[in-house]
Amino acid sequence: MKIKRLVTILLTLVMMLTLAACAGSTEPTENGGNTGSSQNSEDKTSTPSEAGNGSEQSGKTPNSNSDDTVSEPNNEPERGKILVAYFSATNNTKGVAQKLADGLGADLYEITPEQPYTDEDLDYGNPGSRSSVEMDDPDARPAISGSVENMEQYDVVFIGYPIWWGEAPRIMSTFIESYDFSGKTLAAFCTSASSKFGNSDSVLRSAANGATWLDGYRFSAGASADDVMKWANGLGIN
């Protein structure tokens, strides 16, 4: 009996070990197979998503030819820049020039004399005043303080001044003769209480005969921005 019972116990232990071995060999295989399949599936579905995020950040579309999306550096010089250069002894021309520059998005440059004009200098009733003496001398060239940097970058230059004795002040000749305006488009404007524009820019045109000159215009000191831009837009420079 003892031997039979011992054999029964041994058989039971062998069966238990066999079942345990079978269970240990099949469970990792299922888990391993499922885990591997799931991981591969995530990798495959996440790759396009990551590519999409990358393409959104770089501005490219997925599967596009990178050669078609790479932008070449633009080494072309900027064209169409406008300058408004003005001389204003009493700030009347300055106001018009500022409205013109604002309306056109242009650069603004004030033509400043090395020796500023005083009220006595501007006394047109005195033949001995500085302005009277200058205007009596066609060769007078009052010195200018400073200069325009990179004048070559401008395609269009507006030139503003007050009317003195029916002409542009001599300092405007100094300005025109200081630069090469060949190939540029120029347009003059002036301010005056009563004088017409007339031929006030004739001397300037002669000094810059390599430029294309547009019709000039006379404004009152209180000209509105609409008045200024109506003239500028009518020139067709845009």
The reported pLDDT for the residue numbered 237 is: 83
Note whether 35 and 130 are same-domain residues.
Answer: no
The CATH number assigned to the domain holding 168 equals: 3.40.50.360
Note whether 1 and 97 are same-domain residues.
Answer: no
Note whether 6 and 90 are same-domain residues.
Answer: no
- Per-residue DSSP letters for the chain? -HHHHHHHHHHHHHHHHHHHHHHHHHHHHHHHHHHHHHHHHHHHHHHHHHHHHHHHHHTPPTT--HHHHPPPP--SPP--EEEEEE--SSSHHHHHHHHHHHHHT-EEEE-EESSPPPTTTT-TT-TTSHHHHHHH-TT----EES--TTGGGEEEEEEEEE-BTTB--HHHHHHHTTS--TT-EEEEEEE-SS---TTTTHHHHHHTTTSEEEEEEEE-TT--HHHHHHHHHHTT--
Report d(CA 83, CA 155) in Å as an integer.
Answer: 8
Note whether 11 and 113 are same-domain residues.
Answer: no
Would residue 75 count as lying in a domain? no
Note whether 28 and 92 are same-domain residues.
Answer: no
The reported pLDDT for the residue numbered 230 is: 96
Would residue 98 count as lying in a domain? yes
Would residue 61 count as lying in a domain? no
Would residue 52 count as lying in a domain? no
The reported pLDDT for the residue numbered 3 is: 54
Note whether 22 and 105 are same-domain residues.
Answer: no
Tokens in use for 172? 């405007």
Note whether 120 and 8 are same-domain residues.
Answer: no
Note whether 101 and 219 are same-domain residues.
Answer: yes
Entry pTM: 0.66
Note whether 158 and 224 are same-domain residues.
Answer: yes
Would residue 133 count as lying in a domain? yes
Q: What is the pLDDT along the chain (238 residues), one digit of tens a residue?
A: 455 555 566 666 656 655 555 444 444 333 444 434 333 333 333 333 333 333 333 344 334 444 443 444 444 334 479 999 999 999 999 999 999 999 999 999 999 999 999 999 999 999 999 999 999 999 999 999 999 999 999 999 999 999 999 999 999 999 999 999 999 999 999 999 888 898 899 999 999 989 999 999 999 988 999 999 999 999 998 6
Would residue 68 count as lying in a domain? no
When divided into structural domains, the chain yields a total of 2
Domain that holds residue 32: 1-40
Would residue 118 count as lying in a domain? yes
Strand partners, 174: none
Note whether 34 and 149 are same-domain residues.
Answer: no
Note whether 104 and 190 are same-domain residues.
Answer: yes
Would residue 60 count as lying in a domain? no
Report d(CA 164, CA 190) in Å as an integer.
Answer: 10
